[in-house]
A and B are shown apart, each in its own frame.
Chain A
Amino acid sequence: MRAAVVVFPGSNCDRDALRAAELAGFDVRFVWHKESAVDGFDLIVLPGGFSFGDYLRTGAIARWSPIMSDVVRQAERGVMVLGICNGFQILTEAGLLPGVLLRNKGLLFLSEDVALRVENASTAFTSAYKRGQTIRLPIAHGDGNYYVDAEGLKRLEGEGRVVFRYADEPPNGALNGIAGIINERGNVLGMMPHPERHCEDILGSHDGKGVFESLMKDGVPK
């Protein structure tokens, strides 16, 4: 299984994502945002960070990077795409996922471990978990307050596309406590918490490993 970690100027969780995917058994490459194609991979990771300094809006400039038209094309072909934190923000700007990530409710950057409930364990990203299982992952963001219009929310909830939900009061104010969502086809997932930071016990927990292990097992285009 081959994975690409796309590096934008300002990405800063690219190495962490590479390490986590490697630990799960992926053969991982970095792909620079100025490349025009990201061909031949089973998984494309858009990592966390501050692409283009978060200037203008989070993810707004990265969304126009040359690589992104091929990321969209690969997603349409069914390749697995995982957006973590800033990667999630880029996916919403690019229209691959609905909604938007607003400034945190308290206006402050938040860095802490949060409890998440796995709401849907039958996706290719979460098959290693059990439905309803609580896991702990770090968050580290200033703009993680998920918002979508009423119609969009109804669809997400009705179609089981809310994959991760904050188990307690969402620290960032996210609508319905939404922490991670998936597209209709089930191959594009965006999440604010950082699974790649909790893949080794020495770092406090291995609760995030499940995401990469699920993809290793089930992340094959259907």
Chain B
Amino acid sequence: MPKFNVSVTVMFRPNILDPQGAAVERALKNQAGLASGVSISNVRVGKVISMTVEGSDERGVQERVKAIADRILANPVMEQYSVEVLEESAK
């Protein structure tokens, strides 16, 4: 069976408060010189979960990982996620 490298990115839904993102954004704006000359907004902090999954095709893997993400990796009450699947290049 081919192997696929999968990464799941989990973020708060856009209208859910992200205190961590807000604190990081404030810090970037306030802390001396760190981000001078760059205009920064909409900082959000999320997580990336990466894994290797065996499967016959990319679509099937995508479906299965989505099912896992729905149940475990993300809390749909407040989070959303995206799944990226890449076939592991043959050695």
Contact = CB atoms under 8 A, between A and B. Distances in A.
Do chains A and B stick together as partners? yes
A55 B31 contact: no
Interface residues on A, range: under 10
B18 to A, nearest CB: 10
Contacts of B27: 52, 56, 61, 64
**Candidate in A52, A55, A56, A64 with the most chain B CB atoms within 10 angstroms:** A55
A66 B24 CA distance: 16
Interface residues of B, number: 9
Contacts of A61: 23-24, 27, 31
B34 interface: yes
A55 B23 CA distance: 7
20 contacts: A52-B23, A52-B27, A53-B20, A53-B23, A55-B20, A55-B45, A56-B20, A56-B23, A56-B24, A56-B27, A56-B45, A61-B23, A61-B27, A64-B27, A64-B31, A64-B32, A64-B34, A65-B31, A66-B31, A66-B32
Interface of B: 19-20, 23-24, 27, 31-32, 34, 45
